[in-house]
């Protein structure tokens, strides 16, 4: 649903169409990996690819000709024409085009090289402006946004009408821009509940919820600073993506072990401060001037909240979800820095709205004083420790990360009152039950870690016979590569053997990759469908320059993603899967590939 929402907003936005994301012809853009070029096609500007002009104009008809560059084509059904006086065009005569099967538009007709269109008129149209709407694509894999050009007909122009028409067009463009921003905002709200954004909840909540020195206005200021900084960071990324495209890949560049371990240590220290082990304090020569400057403020640091919001955006959530992948592809294809900034700013505001509501109204559900406050602080401390483990999962062995989750669950069980012999009231009994469940999970997870498990959702997997068989099969099911040369070699081998190929983009620091491997790639029905394919796992964990250049050439922004290559070595680009998806969507794409 979220992906469809992003595709809709891209269709409505001036400058990029739905087709620019999805309607791509089979893969000369990808075949460079097989032929050894490793390059990317250089696409013409739209004004050079498609050149409309008035051939002749009489009182009865207007003849329009499109000159189309080699390797480019126009959609017949996307052509439309309007005169200043709308009633003058009686009929539009379009010649038959070349039949083409389009994944999303269905059976369509397209024009190559040159096409002539006749507009039959009810009366003289001399001096008027003719609006020409069209949309075209390149065979090499790029579709242009819907375009509108103005052609001046011979005769005396009517400046008043022309100005009114221009103003109306500008008003329509503004309306569509606002609608696109609103849709990006709605897509952002949906992204809040994905694994890439959820870790931000304990970070923000720990700053404001359950603190007696922070009232609702102050909570709003702190949470607003966090969300605004998050949105501005996304806006900066959007502007840079608009300028430089997929080559930037900021978030993946920040997934080095040094950065992740550093932030995990910081979150661990923040958690210990929540537990009351110590107070995080700056040196006196820095602290005292800041305390004097902030003596008129209450609770929390607005600059600190803003800094945490910016860093959380770049470090805590590096995953590429499907809606975000669609948005990034859309922005990179526009080359519009300002538009990219505004759209990702709206997306981030949508992501931050639920976080803002939790932070501002969380205190409304808690007592203003008493032991609850310490309990709430402790619980948020466990949340921050969970974020630290979440970061470390990307750089430490799986069994060790599972052992850390077991330790966290054991500590949570103690905090919830596992050893309290006489819990008081209904909440006390509920806490006791949760503590018991947490302790059971801790024991199970620790057992699984000792047996070599790494999945916190399936900690006993290595101890089951079925999973052992699955693990044995996993070792040879995908061929793992980590550079362009090895990837090209495997694709060339698949082409030689006349086998289609599946390329999975994976990284150890990509949480969504692990979720999809667990829920999709290990499923028996998926593996059965994948048997005819040459299965290649492109491991981007090290984020090398070679890997980044490949991502840029393929207009990809990071894992997870799945690319389908036909038996001739060409990518079926309109079947690309970018971001986390569900099993049924994955199987649907597989069936479309095998049916070709």
pLDDT tens digit sequence for 352-373 = 888 788 777 766 655 555 565 6
Looking at mean pLDDT, say which of 188-202, 205-219, 553-567 comes out highest.
553-567
What pLDDT is attached to residue 4?
Answer: 45
Higher pLDDT, 104 or 231: 231
Distance CA 567, CA 278 (A): 62
Distance CA 15, CA 529 (A): 38
C-alpha torsion angle, residues 430, 201, 401, 509 (rounded to 10): 150
Distance CA 487, CA 477 (A): 16
pLDDT tens digit sequence for 103-147 = 556 678 999 999 999 988 877 777 788 889 998 888 766 677 788
Hey, what are 32's tokens? Answer: 């460079």
Angle between the 302-311 and 200-208 helix axes, to the nearest 10 degrees?
Answer: 170
* Mean model confidence pLDDT for the chain: 75
pLDDT tens digit sequence for 407-453 = 999 999 998 888 877 766 677 778 888 899 999 999 999 999 998 88
Distance CA 552, CA 39 (A): 10
What pLDDT is attached to residue 187?
Answer: 76
Q: Please, which pLDDT band fits residue 470 given cuts at 50, 70 and 90?
A: very low
What pLDDT is attached to residue 34?
Answer: 44
Distance CA 583, CA 231 (A): 31
| E strand or H helix at 100 | strand 98-102
Distance CA 244, CA 303 (A): 29
Looking at mean pLDDT, say which of 236-245, 397-406, 470-479 comes out highest.
397-406
What pLDDT is attached to residue 15?
Answer: 43
Distance CA 592, CA 203 (A): 43
Looking at mean pLDDT, say which of 7-21, 192-206, 529-543 comes out highest.
529-543
Instruction: Determine phi and psi for 27, rounding to 5 degrees.
Output: -65, 50
Of 94, 95, 87, 88, give the one whose Cα is nearest residue 58: 88
pLDDT tens digit sequence for 268-282 = 887 887 787 765 554
Scored b (16 or more CB within 10 A) or e, 56-92 reads ebeeebbebebebbebbbbbbebbebbbbeeebbeee
DSSP state of 143: B
pLDDT tens digit sequence for 480-516 = 999 999 999 999 999 999 999 999 998 877 777 877 8
Q: Residues 80-91: what's their mean pLDDT?
A: 80
Whether the pLDDT of residue 31 is over 50: the answer is: no
What pLDDT is attached to residue 471?
Answer: 47
Q: What percent of the chain has pLDDT over 70?
A: 69
Higher pLDDT, 372 or 263: 263
Distance CA 47, CA 100 (A): 24
By CB atoms closer than 10 A (0-12, 13-18, 19+), residue 316 is buried
Whether the pLDDT of residue 473 is over 60: the answer is: no
| pTM > 0.85: yes or no | no
Q: Residues 61-84: what's their mean pLDDT?
A: 89
pLDDT tens digit sequence for 298-349 = 445 778 788 888 877 766 655 555 556 656 666 665 556 777 788 888 888 8
What pLDDT is attached to residue 488?
Answer: 93
Q: Label residue 36 left, alpha or beta by phi (over 0 means left) and psi (-120 to 50 means alpha).
A: left
Whether the pLDDT of residue 30 is over 90: the answer is: no
């Amino acid at each position: 649903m979220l992906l469809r929402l992003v595709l809709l907003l891209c269709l409505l936005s001036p400058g990029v169409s739905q087709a620019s994301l999805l309607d791509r012809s089979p893969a000369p853009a990808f075949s460079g990996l097989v032929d050894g070029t490793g390059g990317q096609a250089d696409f013409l500007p739209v004004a050079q690819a498609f050149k409309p002009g008035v051939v002749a104009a009489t009182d009865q008809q207007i003849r329009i000709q499109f000159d189309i560059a080699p390797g480019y084509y126009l959609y017949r059904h996307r052509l439309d024409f309007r005169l200043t006086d709308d009633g003058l065009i009686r009929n539009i005569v379009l010649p038959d085009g070349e039949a083409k099967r389009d994944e999303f538009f269905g059976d369509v007709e397209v024009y190559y090289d040159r096409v002539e269109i006749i507009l039959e008129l009810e009366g003289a149209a001399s001096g008027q402006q003719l609006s020409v709407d069209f949309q075209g694509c390149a065979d090499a894999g790029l579709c242009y946004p819907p375009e509108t050009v103005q052609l001046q007909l011979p005769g005396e122009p009517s400046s008043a009408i022309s100005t009114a028409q221009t103003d109306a067009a500008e008003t329509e463009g503004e309306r569509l821009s606002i609608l696109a921003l609103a849709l990006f905002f709605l897509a952002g709200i949906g992204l809040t509940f994905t694994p890439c954004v959820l870790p931000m909840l304990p970070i923000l909540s720990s700053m404001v919820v359950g603190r007696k020195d922070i009232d609702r206005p102050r909570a709003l200021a702190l949470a607003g600073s966090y969300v605004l900084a998050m949105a501005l960071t996304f806006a900066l990324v959007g502007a840079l993506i608009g300028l430089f495209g997929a080559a930037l890949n900021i978030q993946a560049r920040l997934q080095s072990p040094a950065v992740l371990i550093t932030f995990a240590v910081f979150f661990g220290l923040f958690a210990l401060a929540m537990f009351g082990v110590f107070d995080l304090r700056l040196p006196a020569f820095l602290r005292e001037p800041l305390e004097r400057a902030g003596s008129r403020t209450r609770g929390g640091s607005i600059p600190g909240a803003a800094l945490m919001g910016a860093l959380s955006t770049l470090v805590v959530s590096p995953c590429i979800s499907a809606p975000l992948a669609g948005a990034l592809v859309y922005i990179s294809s526009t080359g519009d820095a300002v538009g990219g900034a505004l759209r990702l700013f709206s997306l981030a505001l949508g992501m931050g709205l639920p976080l803002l509501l939790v932070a501002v109204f969380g205190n409304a559900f808690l007592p203003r004083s008493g032991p609850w406050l310490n309990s709430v602080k402790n619980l948020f401390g466990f949340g921050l420790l969970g974020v630290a483990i979440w970061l470390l999962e990307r750089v430490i062995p799986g069994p060790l990360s599972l052992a850390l989750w077991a330790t966290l669950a054991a500590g949570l069980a103690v905090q919830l009152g596992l050893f309290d012999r006489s819990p008081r009231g209904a909440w006390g009994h509920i806490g006791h039950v949760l503590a018991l469940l947490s302790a059971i999970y801790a024991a199970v997870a620790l057992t699984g870690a000792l047996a070599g498990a790494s999945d916190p959702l399936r900690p006993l997997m290595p101890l089951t016979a079925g999973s052992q068989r699955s693990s044995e099969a996993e070792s040879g099911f995908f061929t793992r590569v980590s550079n362009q040369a090895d990837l090209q070699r495997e694709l060339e081998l698949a082409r030689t053997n006349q086998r289609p190929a599946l390329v999975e983009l994976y990284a150890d620091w990509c949480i969504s990759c692990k979720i999809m491997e667990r829920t999709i790639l290990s499923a028996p029905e998926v593996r059965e469908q994948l048997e005819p394919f040459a299965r290649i796992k492109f491991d981007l964990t090290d984020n090398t320059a070679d890997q980044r250049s490949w991502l840029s050439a393929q207009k990809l922004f990071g894992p997870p993603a799945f690319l389908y290559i036909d038996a001739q070595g060409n990518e079926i680009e309109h079947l690309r899967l970018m971001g986390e998806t569900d099993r049924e969507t994955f199987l649907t794409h597989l069936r479309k590939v095998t049916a070709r």
